[in-house]
Structure 1
Amino acid sequence: MALTREEREQFLAEPHVAALAVDAGDGRAPLTVPIWYQYAPGGDVWIMTGLDSRKNRLIGAAGRFSLLVDRVEPTIRYVSVEGPVVGTTPATVELLREISARYLPADKVEGYVDFAWKDHGEQVVVRMRPERWVSSDLGSV
């Protein structure tokens, strides 16, 4: 059964690891990789990735990408969202901290942020405006 707008936005706002997909060009299947993301209902989705990464280059060329999040308990539920890139900005340590706190235990955030800020190279934040949604709750198995 399809989710309501409220249900799908709330589900996307939960801290799931997403599968990001972006067009990889002629003769190639889409690039699909796991990624952390941030979202608040009614807003844009954002991800953080390396400035020089293949993912960032492909997103820049395509001008859009999609995310898929799912779970299998207590019911099988998924949300897929796709839309245009509406902005790319340099990452900040504050945004790195925000997205890290979404996925890591509180006592691990600062250590990870220190490591990632020093070792991951230059990062960018890519914002996507949700335009097309596909969602369902298939119930329990």
Structure 2
Amino acid sequence: MSLSAADRDAFLAESHVAGIAVARRADHRGPLNVPVWYWRGDDGDLRVFTGADSLKARLVGRAGRFTLLVQRTEPTYRYVSVEGPVVGSAPTTSEDVATVAARYLPPDRARAYVERTGATGDPSEGLVTFRMRPEQWYAADLGAL
């Protein structure tokens, strides 16, 4: 059964690990598809950060868009798949790191993660945050098993 926009938004507000998929060059290989932590800004855009020199960052920068698949694998199986253009990228700040750490880690581990990451928004830190504006949605709850 399709999810309503309100149900979809509520599901995305939960702390699920997402799979990011981004096109490669036309080299007859499938897209890169790897797990990421994500968060949604007050503007509705979805955000992820990664190493600025990573394959993921290079492919997202080149493609200019990506897909996130967020899923729950225990009953009831539910997913949201969202695709859209990158509408911003910037060096990752300590606020970005703190936001995502608070979503996924207990408070004591979140603080340690932020301190270890040390992101300051300085491009030399080596992390980049991508902001994606959702365009295409696919969302469903496949019911109780």
Question: Secondary structure of the equivalent of 2:118?
Answer: helix
Structure 1 runs (4+) deviating above 4 angstroms are none
Would the aligned equivalents of 2:41 and 2:47 in 1 still touch at CA under 8 Å? no
Matches within 5 A, 1:50-61: 50-61=51-62
Change (3 A) 1:98 1:9: same
1:1-141 equivalent positions in 2, closer than 5 A: 1-26=1-26, 27-40=28-41, 43-117=44-118, 121-141=125-145
Report the TM-score when normalising by structure 2. Answer: 0.90
**Separation in 2 of the partners of 1:78 and 1:40?**
20
Is the 1:13–1:41 contact (alpha carbons within 8 Å) kept by the matching residues of 2? no
Runs (5+) with no aligned partner, structure 1: none
The answer as to whether partners of 1:70 and 1:77 remain within 8 angstroms in 2 is yes
Cα displacement string for residues 43-102 of structure 1 (whole angstroms, at most 9, x for unaligned residues)? 000001111111011001111000001113341100000000000011111211111111
Report the identity percentage: 52
TM-score (norm 1): 0.93
Q: Is the 8 A contact 1:97 1:110 kept in 2?
A: yes
Give structure 2 stretches of 5+ with no counterpart: 120-124
Q: Aligned partners of 1:139, 1:3: CA distance in 2, in Å?
A: 11
Partners of 2:117 and 2:92 lie apart in 1 by 12
2: distance between equivalents of 1:132 and 1:10?
17
Mean CA deviation greater in 71-80 or 50-59: 71-80
Question: How much is the aligned-residue C-alpha RMSD, in angstroms?
Answer: 1.5
